[in-house]
Amino acid sequence: MIRRLAIAPLALLGATALALTGCTGSAGSSGGSGDSVKGDPKAEVEFWSFTGINQKDGVDTYLELQPDAKIKLSEVGSTTETATALTAALAGGKVPDLVMIQNDDLPKFIENPQNFVDLRTLGGDDVGEPYLDWAVNAATGANGEIIGIPTDVGGLSFAYRADLFEAAGLPTDPDEVAEAWSTWDGFIEMGEKYTEATGEPFVDNVETTVFFATVNQVSEKYYSPDGEVTFETNPEVKDAFQIAVDTYEAGISASIAAWSSGWAPGKANGSFAVTTAPSWILQGLKNDAPDTEGLWRVATLPEGAGNWGGSVIAIPARAENPAGAWQYIETMMDPDQQLTHFSDTGTFPAAESALESDEVKAYQDPFYGDSKIGEVLAESVLGFQSFYNGPDTSAIGAALLNALVDMEAGNTAPDKAWEKGVKDANAALAQ
């Protein structure tokens, strides 16, 4: 079985806004051995999560639904720090009963599926059936072991300031904007018109808003389907990188890196008109720029579908209370819970029934005007091409991204950026 992942590097940025959703409420009744699993559902469950996702809300909801249960939630750190702590625990330390793993970190854990409970033994062979195939495959071992249930995905879109577009003489309706930048050439052309009319940058930066979008629209990314590292010779990756370079050379980037000190103020003060908007970032934009309510819109990416983000929830094989952990998964991973959590937090569901529901497709938010947010994100995820991610996908992605950051800082010439990214990626692989 070819394992395919479809998640772009997130942990390398030291930031995440992915939150817990998704599993099947019927998992325990599908022929598994959930009733006989070791432990006591009423005993305390030690749950490791990463920071920045307000996982406490999910735990509070669980305790309302299961008042006899006990959860000890530990927000370990960033996604990378959580994965590092889990690696150490699996090597001989005390493991949690339940753990969230960001999808960029999954490939290294998938190499040793015996470190986790195969959730088919608890929920039956169809435990992964309700979810997007590529989201389940991200957590599937070589012999079919399902070590994690998808909690969410990160449908991609762009957010833009309609008021600034109007002042520049550009279309403001999301459908018209999506048509105008239906290709990346069209996106750059639109940016040039904006900058010429206003004298201001069009897009916040080229590394996350452009490169992370383009490189997640490829059919093959840094690895071939059989696991060979191919990024250096893969024309799709080089073309994606070049689009970011072309955007920079067009003079339309503010060169304000995501999560830098200038990023949040830039959203609020109009330092740029367009920024990346995976589903999990939309709430953060509202938090960063509350006074801009009603000015932003959400539109489909150039070239259509894309995904950035996602995580799974897993039970380590040496967990002391897998029964309690499984009860949490059964209770909180239901597609209906995904819908509820999406409405409450904006975290985008991984269950296909939720993605295709009227509730998701009709979702709007007054902060983003009349944008059809749910429809745009659902189409992005459902139309997304999956590809194989290997154990060093994050390292390769970090090297390429950092080469673009270095270019935007003026330290690397645009025509040398790809060469630098490749060199640094190969150096990382050699370590």
- Residues of the chain with pLDDT > 90, as a percent, come to 74
Q: Is 191 exposed, middle or buried (0-12, 13-18, 19+ CB in 10 A)?
A: buried
Reported as a single tens digit per residue, the pLDDT across 101-140 is 998 889 989 999 999 999 999 999 999 999 999 999 999 9
Closest CA to 354 of 139, 26, 130: 130
Q: Does the structure show a pLDDT above 60 at 12? A: no
**Cα torsion angle, 37, 39, 44, 48, sign:** negative
Closest CA to 110 of 81, 144, 72: 144
**Cα torsion angle, 178, 180, 185, 187, sign:** negative
pTM listed for this prediction:
0.86
Q: What is the pLDDT of residue 165?
A: 98
The residue whose two tokens read 């154990």 is: 391
DSSP assignment of 243-299, as one string?
HHHHHHHTT-B----TTSTTHHHHHHHTS-SEEE--GGGHHHHHHH-GGGTTTEEEE
Tokens of 189: 């052309």
Residue extents of the structural domains in the chain: 11-153+308-361, 158-305+386-430
Give buried/exposed letters for 385-405 (b at 16+ CB in 10 A, else e): bbbbbbbbbbbbbbbbbbbbb
Classified by CATH at the fold level, domain 158-305+386-430 comes out as D-Maltodextrin-Binding Protein; domain 2 (3.40.190)
- In 3-state terms, what secondary structure has residue 354? helix
Higher pLDDT, 6 or 246: 246
Cα separation, 301 vs 184, in Å, equals: 9
Q: Does the structure show a pLDDT above 70 at 28? A: no
Tokens of 180: 């105008």
Are domains 11-153+308-361 and 158-305+386-430 of this chain identical in fold? Answer: yes
Mean pLDDT of 368-380: 94
Q: Does the structure show a pLDDT above 70 at 7? A: no
Mean pLDDT of 157-176: 98
Classified by CATH at the fold level, domain 11-153+308-361 comes out as D-Maltodextrin-Binding Protein; domain 2 (3.40.190)
- In 3-state terms, what secondary structure has residue 334? coil
Maximum C-alpha span of the chain: 68
